[in-house]
Amino acid sequence: MYGIILLTIIWYSWLLFKHLTRSQFPTPPGPRGVPILGNLPYLEPELHSYFARLAEIYGPILSLDLGTKKAIVISSPAMARQVLKEHDVTFANRDCPSVNTAMEYSGHDIVFTPYGPEWRMLRKVCVQDMLGHATLDAFYPYRRHEVRSTVKFFYSLSGSPVNVGEQMFLNMLNLVTNMLWGGSVKGDERASIGAEFRKVVSEITELLGKPNVSDFFPGLAWLDLQGMKKKMRVVTMKLERLFDEIIEQRVKLNRSNVGEMNRDFLQVLMQLKDEGKDSKTSKTPFTMLHVKALLMDMVVGGTDTTSSTVEFALAELMNNPQIMTKAQQELDSVVGKNCMVEESHIHKLTYLRAVIKEILRLHPVLPLMVPHCPSKSCIVGGYNVPKRARVFVNVWAIHRDASIWERPNEFIPERFLDGKGDYSGNDFSYIPFGSGRRICAGIPMAERVVTFSLASLVHSFDWKLAEGDSLDLNEKFGIVLKKRLPLIAIPTPRLLGAAVYG
């Protein structure tokens, strides 16, 4: 009898506790799911446009159950402002995919490191030491060499169809790695290492973008049911070997008192590591793990993103000949037709920079950004966003919101000629690089590399499709938004004389 009374008291006490601790705010609305799997069976491959359609039904903040994981989708500037500015600290962490934990550098890179002293140290290294304007200025010869090499390659294939995206990916990979360790690796060896990196980068991005049971059911992560963590370990072992070879060469060069002519990002990072190791005041020393993690961030994050943007830009220009003509006329006026584009010309290319802003509006590189993860439950738009939810900010949907943008699905660079559209993240109707504490650290380099590369292609060549081909501008969703079909185009030289092309 007493046992029944005790159980009854415990039961009602639990119900009372549950009632008292329940948030007075509901979770955001969303579509019904099925038991256990939630909304997983209904997800569509083009996740960015699927989420945009759901937002039209359920509103600018909605929720889905992805297995045992709660997902929150943000689709308006007002909701984005609350997440990325008003509650910035709460949402400053990332929802790290399970497969990422297989990397030796997991928790030491700038993308997924939790917000705190270590992340702030890495951010400072990136913004001040690696990607500051003075450093980027010093490394311009590396970028110039690679862009010139790509233009020369296209010139050698004049009149023949070329895969623009593939060649721009190789250009960006060579460009990034040349800045990273151009003074460490030379000649044929550099080419062979570059080929290995292309393969490794492709494998890593594929694994990071593949749906993983471990992310939807974290309790099963230890089983690695799809074997993805095992595959990632194998890939990162290749990366580790490549990094070790390159770093060993850098150490040897340092012993040989290498001069400023061989300076590269790796030298900057190695110097910071040596200074951090001996620092008695630094609470978060910069270690070899951080060196390798930042090298990986630069290689993986700086190749697909920039090459995809340039490919989309050239495709949109080809699809809009009058806009292509305006861009080429501006380039001819600023640069002339008897020499090639230099980065020093970029600040004068007002129309071309508007073209790039419009590309980043219409085809944002990271359509859902890197998912945020609240450190505690938080109220957004009158709804409760639970702790550890996966929060997607649908930049693609915000950039195509008809209540904000006139003719949002059309390519109209002129909309950015009035000074609108900077990359600071303060205007939440235009956030191609994110906003808040986690805004992309690579904006200064991305601006230079994309503008310089696109300007060189548009200035140096006229572009057309092969006879019978049609231009496809459809997108393919992934970590990085890409063209569904590659751009195969024919370059025709437009500068005065073969000598200009080197």
> Would you list which residues are annotated within the binding site for heme?
440
Q: What is residue 82's DSSP assignment?
A: I
Token output for 259: 């001069």
Q: What is residue 461's DSSP assignment?
A: E
> Which residue has 């570059």 as its token pair?
194
Token output for 44: 């569509």
3 state DSSP class of 262: helix
Helical ranges in 256-287 per DSSP H = 265-278
Please count the CA atoms within 13 angstroms of the CA of 147 that sit on its side-chain side: 25
Q: At what angle do helices 187-209 and 164-181 cross, to 10 degrees?
A: 110
3 state DSSP class of 69: strand
Annotation: binding site: 440
Residues 6+ apart with CB under 8 A from 59: 28, 29
Which helix (H) or strand (E) element contains residue 243?
Answer: helix 228-255
* Burial letters 458-487, b for 16+ CB under 10 A, else e: bbbbebeeeeeeeeebebebbbbbbbeeeb
DSSP string, 353-371: HHHHHHHHHHS-SSTT-SP
Question: Is the separation of the CB atoms in 292 and 240 below 8 Å?
Answer: yes
Token output for 303: 């190749």
Residues 6+ apart with CB under 8 A from 500: 338, 339, 340
